[in-house]
Copies of this chain bind each other. A is one copy, B any other.
Amino acid sequence: MNTHPARGMRDFLPEDVRRRQYVIDVIAGVYQRYGFEPLETPAVENIETLMGKYGEEGDRLIFRILKRGEEGKSGEADLALRYDLTVPLARVVAQYRAQLPRFFKRYQIQPVWRADRPQKGRFREFYQCDVDCLGSTSPIVEAELCAAVSDVLDRLGFKTFDIIINHRALLTASLKQLGFVAEQHSDVITLIDKVDKIGLTGLRTELRQKGFSETQVEGVCRNFLHDDIGPSLGADWLDFYARDLDLEGHPSITNLKEIFTLIRATSAEGRVKFEPCLARGLSYYTGAIFEVKVEDLAGSLGGGGRYDNLVGMFSGREVPAAGFSLGLERILVVMTERGMFPDAARLRPADVMVTICNFNDGVDELELKAEALRLAAQLRSGGVSVEVFPDVTDLGKQIKYAGERGIPFATVIGARERDAGRVGLRDLASRQQEDLSVGELVTYLQDKKLTADSPEPGAARG
């Protein structure tokens, strides 16, 4: 029988889960510090909720679930698996507007599913870590999103990263100038977004194939992708760029300059750079757009932007919104490759192994087991995590097993220890053993636990 997980899906064994949980805890901790609150939505949505929100390509990649009761008959699908966390958020805001705060700041860390062709680093089930603020058009929202994401990366140990920023309204204003009509913008923006993959030559070819004039093709390359245009810091360069495009004083320029000013007052200062070719593929963005770039890494760790019209698609009433989404899987890949996880000591399965040995000193095996469980209960009530070896076998084997499991200590009770009311504690690294009372043992192991644990608050979990 096939025991592999389904294609493009993954099992996470304990060490994987701990690493994932460590990153999730850091992200959630930072977002909470910014006043964002947790939201969770169901994995399964009505199919109409999702269809038509992600473009043709997106619709094709949505996993559809067969209507209940009709299985195998009509083949009709009425449900679908969540494709991202933004559309469910828009639905939630439309549904619960009255009971949500005026400024709804939420984070959401949950899996999404896409029927993409699996590749190295691309899966059919993967986690998104989204943070969004709904209800405000203030540039404080964009500044705080950048600051929060910057803090997350900083706390995870990323040293060199940029948040690049552009503005969807600046892109469209410039496209308009070049003679593209509104219906063509989405196509051109999608191509600009793909320039990393297809190159300038590919971009020119594809634009020509779509029947755009040579002036338009060269205009796109000059305005967004000229060699002289590189990501650059801040407001001064922005003025220069706006003058060059004859878009001085355009609302998008004013908005970007405000965002830059506010970012200088946050921990993201110096991290955020303007990049005219940043386009973001999704069609729902209306304002500032962002992406996280890490040194020596192709692609991004996440992105986001302002999307003031999406909630209106559900409620008929527009609610301004902006957000950022970090990709957990890419963060994990980079952190694993670069050895960025904290000391493996914290990832051990238990602080101590309680062994059960029959030294043929006349104690019944069931009583030996009960004795082990009593000791384990005392240690656990002192906050120590304990694995009990479940069988009465050779002590050497039990100690060896504890070592293989990465458990640093093992307890041993023989007739001598029992008579003295003490417990032998063996340090598996030094192979030293000393006799302690149960009280001393609890204190000793608590101390060791504290030393091994980092000060990272969420890290002891999961």
Of the residues B20, B99, B349, contact of A13 by C-beta under 8 Å: B99
Chain A facing B: main interface SS: mixed
Q: Quick check: is A9 within 8 A (CB to CB) of the other chain?
A: yes
Given A34-B380, A144-B388, A390-B138, the answer on whether A3 and B91 have CB atoms closer than 8 Å is: yes
Contact assessment for B95 and A79 in the assembled complex, using a CB-CB cutoff below 8 Å: no
Distance of A279 Cα from B443 Cα, bound (Å): 43
A-B pairs with beta carbons under 8 Å apart, 16 shown? A1-B48, A1-B315, A6-B42, A6-B44, A6-B46, A11-B39, A12-B39, A13-B96, A37-B349, A103-B389, A105-B349, A133-B390, A140-B372, A140-B391, A262-B370, A267-B380
Stretch at the interface among A166-174, A187-195, A454-462: A454-462
Q: A35 an interface residue at 8 Å Cβ cutoff?
A: yes
Which residues of B sit under 8 angstroms from A446, Cβ to Cβ? none
Q: Is the CB–CB distance between B45 and A5 below 8 Å?
A: yes
Q: Is A216 an interface residue (CB 8 A)?
A: no
Q: Determine if A12 and B40 form an interchain contact, defined as CB atoms under 8 angstroms apart.
A: yes
Chain B residues within an 8 Å CB radius of A267: 377, 380-381
B-contacting residues, A49-104, CB 8 Å: 49, 63-66, 68, 71-77, 79, 81, 91-92, 94-96, 99-103
A461 and B458 in contact, given A6-B42, A6-B79, A21-B38 (Cβ under 8 angstroms): yes
Q: Do A370 and B42 form a contact, CB below 8 Å, given A65-B63, A65-B81, A75-B75?
A: no
Complex contact B401–A102 (CB within 8 A): yes
Q: Which of A25-33, A196-204, A282-290, A293-301 forms part of the interface with chain B?
A: A25-33
Q: Which of A63, A265, A391, A405 has the most CB of B within 10 A?
A: A265
> Which residues of B have CB within 8 Å of A390?
103, 133, 136, 138, 140-141
Q: Which of B33, B77, B79, B265 has a CB less than 8 Å from the CB of A374?
A: B265
- With the chains together, A389 CA to B374 CA distance in Å? 54
Residues in B neighbouring A345, C-beta threshold 8 A = none
Q: Does any Cβ of B come within 8 Å of A371's Cβ?
A: yes
User: What is the total number of copies of this protein in its complex?
Assistant: 2
Q: How far in angstroms is the closest Cβ of chain B from A363?
A: 13
CA distance A386 to B32 in the complex (A): 8
Scan A104-118; emit 1 where CB is below 8 A from any B CB, else 0.
011000010101000
- Asked whether, in the complex, the Cβ of B366 is within 8 Å of the Cβ of A314, the reply is no
With known contacts A75-B72, A261-B366, A388-B35, A17–B42 Cβ distance under 8 A:
no
Instruction: Specify which chain B residues have a CB less than 8 angstroms from the CB of A46 in the assembled complex.
Output: 2, 4, 6
- Most chain B beta carbons < 10 A, residue from A35, A315, A374: A35
Q: Is A266 on the interface with B (CB-CB < 8 A)?
A: yes
A114-B100 Cα distance, complex, nearest whole Å: 30
Given the known interface contacts A6-B46, A141-B390, A377-B147, the answer about A64 and B71 at a Cβ–Cβ threshold of 8 Å is yes
Would A370 and B45 count as touching, CB distance under 8 A? no
A373 at the interface (CB under 8 A from B): yes
Instruction: Determine the chain B residues whose CB is within 8 A of the CB of A63 once the complex forms.
Output: 44, 65-66, 68, 79
Complex alpha-carbon distance, A226 and B426, angstroms: 53
